[in-house]
Amino acid sequence: MTATANATPLVALRDLSVRFVSRDATMHAVNGVDLDLAAGKVLCILGESGSGKSVTLRALMKLLPRSARVTGRIEVAGRDVQAMNERQLQDFRGGDVAMIFQEPMTALDPVFTIGQQIAETVMRHEGATRAAGMARALELLELVQIPSAKRRLAAYPHELSGGLRQRAMIAVALACRPKLLLADEPTTALDATVQIQVLLLLRKLQEQLGMGVIFVTHDLGVAGEIADRVAVMYAGRVVEEGPVGAMMRGPLHPYPRGLLGATVHGGMRGQRLTTIPGAPPSLETLPTGCSFAPRCAEAEPACLAGVPEPRSPVPGRSARCIKVAAG
Amino acid sequence: MSASPSILSSPDRGGPAQPLLLLSGLKKHFPIRGGLFGSTVATVRAVDGVSFAVRKGETLGIVGESGCGKSTTARLLMRLMVPDAGSMVFDGEGVGQNAQTGGITLKDYRRQVQMVFQDSYASLNPRLPIEESIAFAPKVHGVAPAEARARAHEILAAVGLAPASFARRYPHELSGGQRQRVNIARALALQPRLILLDEPVSALDKSVEAQVLNLLVDLKETFGLTYVFISHDLNVVQYISDRVLVMYLGQVVEQGPVEAIYDRPAHPYTRALLASRPSMDPGRRRTEPPLTGDPPNPINPPSGCRFRTRCPFAEGLCAEREPVQSALGGGHEAACHMAEPGSGHSQAGKLAA
């Protein structure tokens, strides 16, 4: 978290907390997240279901429902997202920041053609004419490598295959050349041979357009293909953050270490898989100590004394574990 | 489970050399109706001539992308659907025939072949405590209720759920991993010989997936089971399978021992599929995807070899003639003109081991 301190980061989250309050219970979904993203870099937020990774992503665009209580500071491209009113948010969403989702069929409007949906975004944000909007739509479909792009402009979402639909959604998101692209598991629902195509496309577009990308995934392989840096979340906190290569070679925190051991990859035949015992904690009560301690093989009484602060044994890497040497 | 003889036990019949399940020429086509009078306007060729054997005691992995027919194959295998053509022989007995003609009735067949589904919640009755769900099928097959419940407790313990605290719970009171354990327990309750696992760990988080995979390996050992394991996750299939079957657009394109498939893939589709796996090592990133485009629609599959529209080696021959399964040694077979010496393809025979 220190590597980007000298440049002004594209995204700066400080002590972000999100609670969902209902009459019956309060869910502590995100509990004090600090994250930075430098312009033109790819950060993967890695975590299992319920870790708070998608909630963090949605908070960046102020897309959370009214029941969410958001505290902390969210800065994107130098602007305070929390302070924006509805009108400013409309300009901000789709202009500076765009988002792509796991399921393109629900993210795209079924009653408009792909061309109309892209043109609408350009017309709304840049005041362009419909003709100019359609011309941009064609460029964008070619940019995301949709074959016979001209014909596909007039296609409705249901007429496209899963891979093409995902490309069309990326085209809508890129319509106004956002500085920041938020991606919520955009390749999870795709077939293997299509997933790698979309991942490589996203990386190429990110380099070409110089976008910053925050990519949420539960798949270590996807992070390995696309990330510059990785933030691992557990129970609403970032437990480890650092460059992707170093983290894949030797994670500092026991949770990502367990996750790497539990992920099946080639050459593990006949070996017993290492598992992380138990299940993630309930988010209804905020644990006072390290949230991973109940499942951690190395836990000791000191782990429960308080939430471990991030420690940084080497510059650019940090982990919330008392066993990690502070640098 | 207790060693006492049960009315459910089903001894081996044909000996270890006879395949437990033999499928040949299995076909399932779905008509698409349309037009004014509901005439058939197109046909989805979901499973189109699939033949394979499941050997006793092995784990057979089936991989493929969406639309390749792996789930339809599973439903045919369970006889949840009746095949349009083809035969199924279970340990020497024709499935769905009666005892007079040397066959096995569907009721007996389904007792010996059980299935675990991907969606652990949708496949359990939300209004039954899990012990009742597990005891349900044995009761249908004539086990006394008290005995069925006692055995449900034994099986729950075997899948790692303490009966004292879990038996009376309802499905919504369990986590995804625990529910999948219940589904496995329910499949085990009939003492089956073959368990069909359709994407059993795909909906689970990684740390829980490893727990369930370890459990499946243990149960196979303990109860002497045979598995058919269907998944789109190539790493999981490599981990758990003895033999692997690769499907594409309703057909088997390659099959063989797991080492042969993963170390020496012969079919261009298998090679592309394996190369599409994301790498956890950022130092080994690629710039070009192994394949372009999506899998074609099974409604109107390409003529000849169905992979030719995406295949980098396709020639004129591939559009004209459907490739046959060519043996590559050691039970390794691929349906590709390049694997068949003398097929007329310019690279024919170069693959043969």
Q: Which A residues, 20 through 59, put their C-beta within 8 Å of a C-beta on chain B?
A: 48-49
Query: Considering only CA atoms, which of A208, A35, A182, A20 is closest in space to residue A102?
Result: A182
**Which residues have C-beta within 8 Å of that of residue B136, sequence separation ≥ 6?**
B128, B186
Q: What SS3 class is residue A19?
A: strand
* pLDDT at res. A5: 46
φ and ψ at residue B208, rounded to 5 degrees: -80, -35
For A25, other C-beta atoms within 10 Å of its C-beta total 11
Structure confidence by residue, pLDDT tens digits, B22-38? 999 999 999 988 877 78
Token reading at A28 = 């502590």
**Which residues have C-beta within 8 Å of that of residue B104, sequence separation ≥ 6?**
B90, B93, B94, B95, B96, B97
Query: Considering only CA atoms, which of A104, A166, A316 is closest in space to residue A230?
Result: A316
Contact B234, A268 (CB under 8 A): no
Please indicate whether, in this complex, the C-beta atoms of B294 and A164 are within 8 angstroms of each other.
Answer: yes
Structure confidence by residue, pLDDT tens digits, B102-135? 788 888 999 999 999 988 899 999 999 999 999 9
Token reading at B299 = 């409604």
* pLDDT at res. B287: 85
- B206, B210, B279 member nearest A218 (Cβ): B206
* pLDDT at res. B99: 63
Please indicate whether, in this complex, the C-beta atoms of A191 and B292 are within 8 angstroms of each other.
Answer: no
The vertex-B149 CA angle with B91 and B78, nearest 5°, equals 30
Chain A residues whose CB is inside 8 A of the B273 CB are 192-193
Chain A residues whose CB is inside 8 A of the B239 CB are 264, 268-269, 273
Q: How far is B283 from chain A (nearest CA, A)?
A: 7
pLDDT along chain A (327 residues), means of 10: 60 95 90 95 93 94 92 94 93 93 90 95 93 95 92 93 92 94 91 92 94 95 95 96 94 94 82 86 86 92 93 94 86
- B65, B236, B281 member nearest A224 (Cβ): B281
Contact B92, B100 (CB under 8 A): no
pLDDT at position B352 over 70: no
* pLDDT at res. B2: 45
Structure confidence by residue, pLDDT tens digits, B51-61? 999 999 999 99
What beta strand segments (E) does chain B contain? Answer: 21-34, 39-54, 59-63, 85-90, 93-95, 103-104, 113-116, 194-198, 226-230, 243-248, 251-257, 325-327, 333-335
Task: Work out the mean pLDDT of chain B and round it to a whole number.
Answer: 90
Structure confidence by residue, pLDDT tens digits, B128-157? 999 999 999 999 999 999 999 999 999 999
Q: B351: pLDDT confidence band, cut at 50, 70 and 90?
A: low
Q: B98: pLDDT confidence band, cut at 50, 70 and 90?
A: low
Chain B residues whose CB is inside 8 A of the A264 CB are 209-210, 213, 233, 235-236, 238-239
Residues linked to residue A30 through DSSP beta bridges, in sequence order? A18
Distance of CA B248 to the CA centre of its chain: 14
- B66, B278, B285 member nearest A191 (Cβ): B66
Count the residues in chain A.
327
**Which residues have C-beta within 8 Å of that of residue A301, sequence separation ≥ 6?**
none
DSSP string, B166-206: HTT--GGGS-HHHHHHHHHHHHHTT--SEEEEESTTTTS-H
Query: Is A85's Cβ below 8 Å from some Cβ in B?
Result: no
Torsion over CA: B332, B335, B338, B343 (sign): positive
pLDDT at position B171 over 60: yes
Please indicate whether, in this complex, the C-beta atoms of B206 and A262 are within 8 angstroms of each other.
Answer: yes
Radius of gyration of chain A (CA): 21
DSSP string, A206-234: HHHHT-EEEEEES-HHHHHHH-SEEEEEE
* pLDDT at res. A278: 82
Please indicate whether, in this complex, the C-beta atoms of A264 and B292 are within 8 angstroms of each other.
Answer: no
B207 or B181, higher pLDDT: B181
* pLDDT at res. B3: 44
- The Cα-based distances of A125 to A94, A129, A298 in angstroms read 8, 11, 53
Residue type, A125: H
- How confident is the model over B289-305, as a mean pLDDT? 87
Residue ranges of chain B whose CB lies within 8 Å of a chain A CB:
65-66, 175, 177, 205-211, 213-214, 217, 232-236, 238-239, 258, 262, 272-273, 276-283, 285-295, 297
* pLDDT at res. B203: 85
Q: Model-level pTM?
A: 0.89
Structure confidence by residue, pLDDT tens digits, B240-286? 999 999 999 999 999 999 999 999 999 999 999 999 999 888 888 88
**Which residues have C-beta within 8 Å of that of residue B317, sequence separation ≥ 6?**
B304, B337, B343, B344, B345
What ranges in B20-144 are assigned the alpha helix state H? 70-77, 106-112, 130-140
Please indicate whether, in this complex, the C-beta atoms of A193 and B278 are within 8 angstroms of each other.
Answer: no
Which of A54, A193, A239 has the highest number of chain B CBs within 10 A, making it the mutation to test binding with B?
A193
* pLDDT at res. A271: 86
